[in-house]
Structure 1
Amino acid sequence: MKLIQSSKTTSHSPKSRSLIETAWRQFKRDKIAVLGILILSLMMIAVMVGPWIYVIRPTEIDFVNALSPPSWKHPLGTNDLGQDQLARLLIGGRVSLTVGVAAMVVAILFGTIVGAIAGFYGGILDTLLMGLTDLFISLPQLPVLLLVIYLFREPIKKNAGPEVGIFLLIIIVVGGLNWMSVARLVRASFLTTKEQDFVTAAKAIGASSHRLIWLHILPNVLSPVIVAATLAVGTAIITESTLSFLGLGFPPDVPTWGRMLYDAQNYLETAPYLALFPGLAIFLTVLSINAIGDGLRDALDPQSR
């Protein structure tokens, strides 16, 4: 009997990594971005889970303990009505982060649609849409924001309620005034990507304009959109805090971080902790989001790899 022994050679080819894996490996090298994710995660866990653990009601009034400094009973002190600041900070974080994410969705959605249409079709449509974008960029945002709030605040409160109405008004206005940079980024990416060979091949086999935009070009230009989305959250949180600080945001019984700063402005000398903790929460949240955005920009940029 003749035995034939075949030797098996195993070839160790380099493992192909997907875009997400490669971006994550690059992102992990940025220690500041990783620290930003850690801080933001802790903040989100605190505002989501904290009110279930720290069961003191944020609206509970106790004039006996009004303006109490931080103690074991009230870790962050109390305000002029004796309301616990930690409970208000946790509940206010939910509102501020929700407004930031919702306004970001409005800005990214509108900016992506405008940029995609302008970059794909070009011509007179591109000129009109970019002219509209330049018009919005030239508008002074804070005066326009205050004007819209003054004009539509009371009607929308009557129709949708004081809390839901103000929430909808703020996210629409804030998102509607922050879509322009996204539109320009998407347009520039579309102008470059639509000339690629794979788009030309898709056109040759009869792909429709809708299919070219949503299935072929848009997935390849998501990198700047993702970065812009992270930065838009921080911008929206700052804008909502500014409105609440000016007394034009949510009602006084809704303790957003900006509203807490507004309530603390008269007690900066006697009770500085009233402004310290909500201001620190805004600072850490926005700083961590910006760090994540910078890390994503470097991780998703092919030239950096």
Structure 2
Amino acid sequence: MSDPSAASIVSTPRPEQPTEFGAPTNAGLPASAKQQKPRGLLADAWLDLRRKPLFWISAVFIALFVVMAAFPSLFTSGDAVNGALSHSRVEPSADAWFGYDVQGRDVFARTIYGARASIVVALLSTIGTLLIGGTMGIIAGYKGGWVDGVLSRIADIFFGLPFVLGAIVILTTFNGSGTDNNEWQIMGLVIMSLVVLSWPVVMRLMRSSVLATKEADYIVAARALGAGSGRIILKHLLPNCLAPLLVYGTIMVGSFIGAEATLSFLGIGLKTPVVSWGIMISEAQNYIRVSPFLLFFPAAFLVAAVLSFVTLGEAVREALDPKLR
């Protein structure tokens, strides 16, 4: 005769077996938690960014400006270069939403087409600054010693150059009157001046990140296993030092848009026939009292673009820094 208590024991499901570390596997966890994988820094940052309204607002504005720069014909069919003097300083109307400038050109068309030069200069300047400054910072921080000393002193020399004065010297030396240069040559000179005067900041930022990371346990372990300098830099140092550069690069785009407009306003940056917001503001400065719309519309687009990139950079900085969450 069988024992009913023994049958009940046999039919009872066995609990989770402990692992070799003494903790049961997936014990007491819901099914969704058992399948969830740990998130990395970028995944956590993206999860945090999705909850921020300012991030989405700035991202929408930036996407709008990028599309405007890439495909201006989607927004206007007007001529941004040629105009009729009979329309000189005609105020905004249904035919011309932003009015006409002194030479009778459509201000709305020029504002749309002006986004291309301003954003292209800012993006290319940011990419060049990050590449040059980031490379110098990695080399200085990883090598140390006399290499770090030499590169740091070179960066100090460029730090001592006032931005506007240095840009004036560079652009007046290589640009001159600007009559012999085409549109892309003028833009290339402006980009070169911005990169030359801005890379030391990125170099110091990357150098400090490398110095704080290169003595980490996983770097020491990789070096002990025989990994070369190139593999350590590309596979370990660079991915863990990109967060500060990503934040600063986003803010830098907005700063370079303002810098390009400043140089063009002073007459040493982009020049006609290039269309940019800075050139439009420069041309409107003598007509602020009689025709303020000539200054208002390009200045409004300029301020909106700069604020969008700066706001996006601040949101990314808060998302990547756990202390600010």
Contact 2:58 2:308 survives alignment (8 Å): yes
Are 1:18 and 2:48 counterparts?
Answer: no
- Which of 194, 197, 205 is residue 217 of structure 2 equivalent to? 197
- Number of the residue aligned with 1:269: 289
Q: Secondary structure at the match of 2:81?
A: coil
Q: Which runs of 5+ in 1 are unaligned?
A: none
- Number of the residue aligned with 1:90: 112
- Which of 84, 97, 108 is residue 62 of structure 1 equivalent to? 84
- Number of the residue aligned with 1:170: 190
Distance apart, 1:231 and its partner CA: 1.4
Cα deviations by residue, 1:39-63 (Å, 9 ceiling, x for unpaired): 2222323343442341111112111
- The equivalences for 1:1-305 within 5 A come to 11-12=29-30, 13=33, 15=36, 16-154=38-176, 158=180, 161-305=181-325
CA distance in 2, matches of 1:196, 1:157: 55
Identity among equivalent positions (%) equals: 32
CA distance in 2, matches of 1:53, 1:242: 26
The TM-score normalised by the length of structure 2 is 0.87
Q: Secondary structure at the match of 1:73?
A: coil
Contact 1:51 1:87 survives alignment (8 Å): no
Contact 1:100 1:234 survives alignment (8 Å): yes
Contact 1:119 1:190 survives alignment (8 Å): yes
CA distance in 2, matches of 1:181, 1:188: 11
Partner AA of 1:227 in structure 2:
V
CA distance in 1, matches of 2:81, 2:175: 24
Distance apart, 1:8 and its partner CA: 11
Cα deviations by residue, 1:82-124 (Å, 9 ceiling, x for unpaired): 1001111111101100000000011111110111011101111
CA distance in 1, matches of 2:226, 2:178: 47
The TM-score normalised by the length of structure 1 is 0.92
CA distance in 1, matches of 2:154, 2:85: 53
Contact 1:244 1:258 survives alignment (8 Å): yes
Which structure exhibits the higher relative contact order, with contacts defined as CA atoms closer than 8 Å and separated by 6 or more residues? 1
CA distance in 1, matches of 2:287, 2:324: 48
Q: Which runs of 5+ in 2 are unaligned?
A: 1-10, 17-25
Contact 1:100 1:233 survives alignment (8 Å): yes
CA distance in 1, matches of 2:312, 2:45: 13
- Number of matched residues? 302
Cα deviations by residue, 1:28-47 (Å, 9 ceiling, x for unpaired): 33332332212222232334
Distance apart, 1:253 and its partner CA: 1.9
Query: RMSD of the TM alignment (CA)?
Result: 2.3
Partner AA of 1:101 in structure 2:
L
Q: Which moved more, 1:10-19 or 1:87-96?
A: 10-19
Q: Secondary structure at the match of 2:82?
A: coil
Contact 1:157 1:166 survives alignment (8 Å): no
The structure-2 alpha-carbon separation of the partners of 1:133 and 1:157, relative to structure 1 and needing over 3 Å to count, comes to: farther
CA distance in 2, matches of 1:55, 1:8: 73
Partner AA of 2:40 in structure 1:
S
